[in-house]
Amino acid sequence: MKHIFLFLSALLFIILSWFFVNTFIFKSRASEEILQIYPENQALNAVVGEPFTTKVMLQGPAGKKVSAAKIEMYYDKTKLVFLGTEESDTSCTTLEHQIQITDDTASSKVVWSKVSFKKKDDLPQGLICFGELRFKPIAAGDVVIAPVI
Predicted confidence (pLDDT) per residue in 20-57, tens digit? 555 545 444 455 666 777 677 655 667 889 998 888 88
Mean of pLDDT over the chain: 77
Q: For the segment 51-89, what is each residue's pLDDT rounded down to a tens digit?
A: 988 888 888 777 888 888 888 989 989 999 999 987 666
Three-state SS for 88? coil
Mean pLDDT confidence for 87-105: 77
Q: Chain-centre distance of CA 103, in angstroms?
A: 13
- What pLDDT is stored for residue 28 in this prediction? 45
Q: Name the residue among 72, 80, 99 with its Cα closest to residue 139.
A: 80
* 136 touches 76 (CB < 8 A): no
Q: Across-strand partners of 57?
A: 38, 129
Judge residue 133's burial from the number of C-beta atoms within 10 Å of its C-beta, 0-12 exposed, 13-18 middle, 19 or more buried. Answer: buried
Whole-angstrom CA distances from 4 to 11, 14, 82, 93 are 10, 15, 63, 60
**For the whole prediction, is pTM greater than 0.75?**
no
- What pLDDT is stored for residue 9 in this prediction? 72
